Amino acid sequence: MILKKLAIAIIATGALVFGSGVQANTYSFGQLLSGGGPANVHFADLSATDDGGGNWTFTLTTLDLNAIFGTDSFIGSMAVVGTQPTSSSTDLGGGVTVVDPANGGGPGGSFNFRYDFGSGGSSDRLTANESVTWHVGGLGSDPLPINGQLALHVQATSYSPDSAWYVSPVPEPETYAMLLIGLGLLGTAIRRKK
C-alpha cells in the first residue's frame, strides 16, 4: 500500500514537472562564451512557449544593458543549435520591428542558424529594458535546446573587442520551484502515510 501511494505521488509529481516544462521554458543569459565583457552577468531573459502543432512563441526581454555594457550596446542576434523555423512573425511593440531567421552565425560555427533582431538601423535595435515577441512555425514538438545551445550577440559594447556572445548557463528559478513543489508533494504523501 505504501509503495502504491508513493508511486502515485511520484507519477503526479513527474506529470506536474513534465507538463510545465513542455508548455514553457525560460532561459537567463549571462555566461560569456566569446568576445569582451564580464564573464558572468544577468542581462536578458528568453521565454519560449509551445503553442502546439510545431508553433512556438518567444519573448526576449533585456535588463539594463547600458549599465552593464555601455550606452550604445544592443543585442543584434541570437544563435541557435536546433531546427530552423519555416515561418516567422513579429509582434508590434518593443524596440524591434522584425525578427528574422537567418543562416549561419554564432561563435565557432557550431550553431545551426540565428534570429536577427531588427533591420540594422539604429532605431530598430533591441536595447536596454526592451522586449520583443515573435512567433515561429515548423519547429515540431521536440524540446527546446538545452542550456548552452542558445547564444545572444551583444554589440557596440564599451569593452574590447566591442561585441560578445553570451549563453544561458543555469536553469531559471521556475525550474527550481517546480522541483521543490514535486519534492514537497512527495514529502506530504510519505508523511500522511506515517
pLDDT of residue 120: 60
Q: Which of 86, 82, 172 is nearest to 135 (CA)?
A: 86
What is the band of 82 on the pLDDT scale with cuts at 50, 70, 90?
confident
pLDDT (tens digit per residue) in 5-58: 544 545 544 544 444 444 578 899 999 999 999 999 999 999 999 998 889 999
Condensed to tens digits (0 to 9), the pLDDT of residues 147-178 reads: 568 999 999 999 999 999 999 864 445 544 55
**pLDDT value of residue 170:** 47
What pLDDT score does 187 carry?
67
Nearest alpha carbon to residue 171 among 31, 12, 13, 9? 31
Does 115 have pLDDT greater than 90? Answer: yes
> Would you mind telling me the total number of residues written for the chain in this entry?
194
Q: How confident is the model at residue 123 (pLDDT cuts 50, 70, 90)?
A: confident
pLDDT for the residue numbered 45: 96
Output the nine-digit C-alpha cell for 87.
515561418
pLDDT, residue 186, reads 62
Cα gap 49→52, rounded to integer Å? 9
Measured distance CA(142)–CA(111) in Å, rounded: 17
**pLDDT given at position 77:** 94
Q: Which residue has the cell 512573425?
A: 89
Distance CA 62, CA 156 (A): 15
pLDDT of residue 60: 95
Report pLDDT for 24: 76
Checking if the pLDDT of 67 tops 60, the result is yes
pLDDT at 118: 84
What is the per-residue pLDDT for 114? 93
Distance CA 53, CA 99 (A): 21
pLDDT surpasses 90 at 137: yes
CA atoms within 13 A on the CB side of 188: 10
Please state the pTM of the whole predicted model: 0.75
Average pLDDT, the chain: 81
pLDDT at residue 139, as a whole number: 83
Share of the chain above pLDDT 70, in %: 70
